[in-house]
């Protein structure tokens, strides 16, 4: 016995000398304390906001249902994605163009077929498709559309004989529809062609092809998920895009709106989704609009005209235009962003801080003169920019915008912590401004974090279309917890961006699916409470708690960023019902992900637990939310 003691003592000296620390035995339970008497300010529902921009496949290819690329022929059909068919003489003609700067024109001296074709389209067996073509043909010429499947071995050809509309410039609109029956696979690649035949001059204006189940031009599968996401507000149209965007390009007859080079990003801006479509989008998914105006290349006159178009009476100058476009009643947009990231040299119209302060104040004065009840959001950025803006614009902002993006850490707990740490850093900076700047005395300028997310990895889903993993969902959950802990200073947060582009939802040509980040946003938005409570929990776990506004339920959310299941107990001075609901988003692999064209690996799994406060197991790499009824 004496020799054993001596051995243990000697071993202890060796351990201390080496610096090695033996791992401690895990406690039976991770103890969490919830103080129901210490309540924070109510959590703003706008914390669950979203942001969509004209970038990559966020709108076109994500929300918008149009299947054809470059349907207005911004580029000549000899340029991808269109190919010329036949041997008729072709030119991209400026004179007599249907839309934009030029339109396809052919001159045929024989009766051979000619036209354009676009390959690589995806069709679903048994699904209906609808479309139309605007064209101007010579007498006796024939027009048809053709859809090829199985490398041209099977096809659908539809002669277009009856025009449904004729324009003053001689162009005629031909509509068509078909069902993709008899495909060899449930989803099959195919091509779409517009064909002409006969002698004479022929002009092609635009073409369109959409699934028949589109909802006001939007994808039904994406809209279904957006409704489940239930975001209360959407910021639009940018982002960097807005600083080069003329909103007038996006109104009026959709086929006559000019295509443009995207001013900030790659590709073409079709102008099919303008302010009217955005308002229909908001109505369809049940959300509020938050419109950013152009303070880069734009000016206050352009912004005021947009404001009047959105909110003016039907007898005002731009309200009349809105009414003529089919929307007599004003939209009543309350939230307006005065520009985007004007501090950045990547921004069109980038300017110094003092110049933006002057521009912001000019815009705000004009907007308030139009309607003093508007909520106006100025551009912020923690550091030297904010230190000047918060002083010079304190009387000319209701909220201040902040943005952040983080990348990746190999260690999962460190990766998860990137998001809440960034939120806390920005909150702490603004608390400091409130203490130090006399211009802020008596004011309550809250933060609108109208862009926030992870941003790293390859672009799997188009431009900036990064894939998200289980560990990213955990970080977004921990970020929501940090917003709750600072509910007195954050009034809005807009996850950037909703679809495909660093998005919560990813789409392929025929499917749409929630990323892990989207599942988290959906779960918390629909189930987490509104009155935050003080919580004490050991790291690396992130725990938040809140009661519902009506006081009927306690909700507790736990992020476990470790590879081990842990037993948790929750000390809370409330009498709770014996059974509680449990919602779990988890996967044992932190790099697991969902893909729109594969079987779903990660979802929200609902179950029930008994006496959850006394002890429940939290899965590894998981976000778990409990909802327990409070007994009175």
Q: Which residue has the tokens 């109505």?
A: 283
Please confirm, yes or no, whether 165 is among the known catalytic residues: no
Give the mean model confidence (pLDDT) for residues 577-590: 97
Give the mean model confidence (pLDDT) for residues 109-113: 95
- Domain range annotation of the chain: 27-40+534-630, 45-65+215-527, 82-211
Tell me, what's the pLDDT at 580?
96
% of the chain residues with pLDDT over 70:
96
Q: Which DSSP state fits 270? A: -
User: Would you state the structure tokens that stand for residue 560, as one six-digit string?
Assistant: 């476990």
Please confirm, yes or no, whether 341 is among the known catalytic residues: yes
**Sequential DSSP letters for 9-27:** HHHHHHHHHHT--PPPPPP
Give the mean model confidence (pLDDT) for residues 229-256: 98
Give the mean model confidence (pLDDT) for residues 432-457: 97
Catalytic residue, chosen from 53, 277, 451, 482, is 451
Give the mean model confidence (pLDDT) for residues 294-313: 98
CATH superfamily placement of domain 82-211:
Galactose-binding domain-like (2.60.120.260)
**Sequential DSSP letters for 529-566:** -SEEEEEE--TT-EEEEEE-TTSSEEEEEEEE-SSS-E
pLDDT tens across 504-537, in order?
999 999 999 999 999 999 999 999 999 999 999 9
Tell me, what's the pLDDT at 481?
98
pTM: 0.94
CATH superfamily placement of domain 45-65+215-527:
Glycosidases (3.20.20.80)
Give the mean model confidence (pLDDT) for residues 375-402: 98
92 CB contacts (<8 Å, ≥6 apart)? 73, 76, 77, 102, 103, 104, 105
The SS3 of residue 45 is: helix
Exposure string over 343-365, b if 16+ CB within 10 A, otherwise e: beeebbbebebeebbebbbbbbe
CA terminus-to-terminus distance, the chain: 59
Cα distances (Å, whole numbers) of residue 187 to 42, 261, 325: 47, 32, 37
CA torsion sign for 61, 65, 69, 72 is negative
% of the chain residues with pLDDT over 90:
92
**Sequential DSSP letters for 360-420:** HHHHHHHHHHH-TT-EEEEE--TTHHHHHHHHHTTTS-SEEEEEEEE---SSHHHHHHHHH
Alpha carbon 595 to its chain's center: 17
Beta strands in 125-266 (DSSP E): 128-136, 142-149, 154-159, 165-166, 172-179, 187-197, 200-211, 233-236, 260-261
**Sequential DSSP letters for 288-328:** EEEEEE--SS--HHHHHHHHHHHHS-TTSHHHHHHHHTT--
Please give the mean pLDDT across all residues of the chain. 94
Maximum Cα–Cα distance for the chain, whole Å?
A: 113
pLDDT tens across 542-571, in order?
999 999 999 999 999 999 999 999 999 999
Query: Quick one: residue 151, left, alpha or beta (phi over 0 = left, psi -120 to 50 = alpha)?
Result: left
CA torsion sign for 363, 368, 370, 376 is positive
Tell me, what's the pLDDT at 27?
53
Distance between CA atoms of 200 and 501, rounded to whole angstroms? 45
Give the mean model confidence (pLDDT) for residues 487-503: 98
Q: Which residue has the tokens 């950037």?
A: 496
User: Would you state the structure tokens that stand for residue 106, as one six-digit string?
Assistant: 């052919």
Give the mean model confidence (pLDDT) for residues 398-416: 98
Distance between CA atoms of 293 and 272, rounded to whole angstroms? 18
Q: Helix 384-392 vs helix 412-436: angle between axes, to the nearest 10 degrees?
A: 40
Band the pLDDT of 79: cuts 50, 70, 90.
Answer: confident
User: Would you state the structure tokens that stand for residue 195, as one six-digit string?
Assistant: 């064909």
Distance between CA atoms of 303 and 245, rounded to whole angstroms? 11
Cα distances (Å, whole numbers) of residue 255 to 56, 73, 475: 21, 11, 42
Q: Measuring CA to CA, which residue among 400, 422, 407, 384 is closest to residue 456? A: 407
424 CB contacts (<8 Å, ≥6 apart)? 482, 486
pLDDT(23) > 70 = no
Q: Which DSSP state fits 51? A: E
Q: Which DSSP state fits 241? A: G
Q: Which DSSP state fits 509? A: S
Tell me, what's the pLDDT at 567?
96
Band the pLDDT of 132: cuts 50, 70, 90.
Answer: very high
Give the mean model confidence (pLDDT) for residues 38-67: 98
CA torsion sign for 43, 48, 53, 55 is positive
Catalytic residue, chosen from 269, 306, 308, 341, is 341
Tell me, what's the pLDDT at 51?
98
pLDDT(194) > 70 = yes
Q: Which CATH architecture has domain 27-40+534-630?
A: Sandwich (2.60)
Give the mean model confidence (pLDDT) for residues 274-296: 98
User: Would you state the structure tokens that stand for residue 63, as one six-digit string?
Assistant: 């929300």
Tell me, what's the pLDDT at 13?
31
Tell me, what's the pLDDT at 577?
94
The SS3 of residue 125 is: coil
Cα distances (Å, whole numbers) of residue 67 to 128, 130, 146: 13, 10, 15
């Amino acid at each position: 016995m004496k020799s054993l003691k001596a051995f243990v003592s000697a071993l202890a000296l060796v351990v201390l000398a080496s610096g090695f620390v033996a791992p401690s035995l895990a406690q039976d339970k991770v103890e969490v304390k919830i103080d129901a008497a210490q309540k924070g300010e109510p959590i703003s529902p706008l914390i669950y906001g979203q942001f969509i921009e004209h970038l990559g496949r966020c709108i076109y290819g994500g929300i918008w249902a149009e299947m054809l690329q470059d349907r207005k022929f911004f580029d000549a059909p000899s340029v991808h994605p269109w190919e010329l068919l036949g041997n008729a003489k072709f030119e991209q003609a400026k004179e007599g163009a249907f839309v934009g700067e030029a339109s396809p024109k052919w001159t045929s001296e024989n009766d051979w077929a000619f036209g354009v074709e676009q390959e690589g389209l995806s069709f679903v067996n048994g699904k209906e498709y609808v479309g139309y073509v605007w064209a101007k043909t010579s007498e006796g010429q024939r027009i048809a559309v053709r859809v090829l499947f199985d490398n041209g071995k099977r096809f659908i050809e539809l002669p277009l004989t009856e025009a449904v509309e004729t324009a003053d410039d001689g162009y005629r609109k031909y509509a068509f529809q078909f069902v993709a029956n008899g495909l060899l696979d449930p989803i099959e690649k195919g091509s779409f062609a517009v064909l002409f035949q006969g002698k004479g001059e022929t002009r092609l204006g635009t073409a369109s092809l959409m699934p028949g189940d589109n909802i006001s031009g939007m994808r039904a599968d994406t809209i279904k998920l957006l409704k489940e996401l239930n975001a209360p507000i959407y910021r639009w149209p940018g982002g960097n895009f807005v600083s080069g965007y003329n909103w007038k390009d996006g109104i009026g007859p959709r086929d006559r709106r000019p295509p443009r080079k995207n001013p900030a990003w790659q590709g073409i801006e079709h102008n099919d989704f303008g302010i009217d479509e955005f308002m229909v989008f908001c109505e369809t998914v049940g959300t509020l609009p938050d419109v950013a105006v152009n303070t880069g290349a734009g000016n206050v006159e352009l912004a005021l005209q947009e404001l009047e178009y959105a909110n003016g009476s039907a007898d005002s100058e731009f309200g009349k235009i809105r009414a003529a476009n089919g929307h007599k009643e004003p939209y009543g947009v309350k939230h307006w962003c005065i520009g985007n990231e004007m501090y950045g040299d990547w921004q069109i119209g980038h300017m110094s801080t003092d110049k933006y302060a002057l521009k912001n104040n000019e815009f705000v004065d004009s907007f308030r003169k139009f309607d003093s009840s508007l909520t106006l959001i100025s551009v912020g950025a923690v550091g030297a920019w904010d230190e000047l803006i918060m002083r010079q614009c304190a009387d000319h902002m209701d909220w201040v915008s902040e943005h952040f993006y983080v990348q990746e850490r190999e260690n999962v707990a460190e990766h998860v912590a990137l998001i809440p740490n960034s939120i806390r850093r920005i909150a702490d900076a603004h608390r400091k401004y409130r203490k130090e700047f006399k211009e802020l005395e008596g004011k309550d300028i809250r933060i609108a974090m109208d862009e926030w997310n992870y941003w790293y990895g390859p672009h799997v889903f188009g431009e900036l279309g990064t894939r998200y993993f289980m560990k990213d969902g955990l970080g977004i959950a921990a970020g929501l917890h940090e917003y709750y802990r600072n509910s007195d200073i954050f009034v809005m947060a807009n996850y950037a961006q909703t679809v495909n582009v660093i998005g919560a939802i990813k789409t392929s040509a025929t499917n749409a699916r929630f990323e892990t980040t989207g599942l988290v946003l959906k779960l918390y938005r629909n189930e987490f409470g509104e009155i935050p409570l003080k919580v004490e929990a050991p790291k690396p776990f992130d725990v938040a708690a809140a009661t519902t506004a009506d006081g009927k339920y306690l909700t507790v959310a736990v992020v476990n960023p470790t590879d081990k299941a842990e037993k948790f107990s929750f000390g809370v001075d409330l009498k709770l019902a014996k059974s509680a609901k449990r919602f779990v988003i988890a996967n044992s692999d932190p790099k697991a992900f969902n893909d729109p064209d594969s079987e779903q690996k990660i979802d929200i799994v609902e179950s029930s637990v008994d006496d959850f406060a006394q002890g429940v197991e939290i899965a590894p790499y998981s976000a778990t939310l409990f909802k327990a009824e409070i007994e009175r």
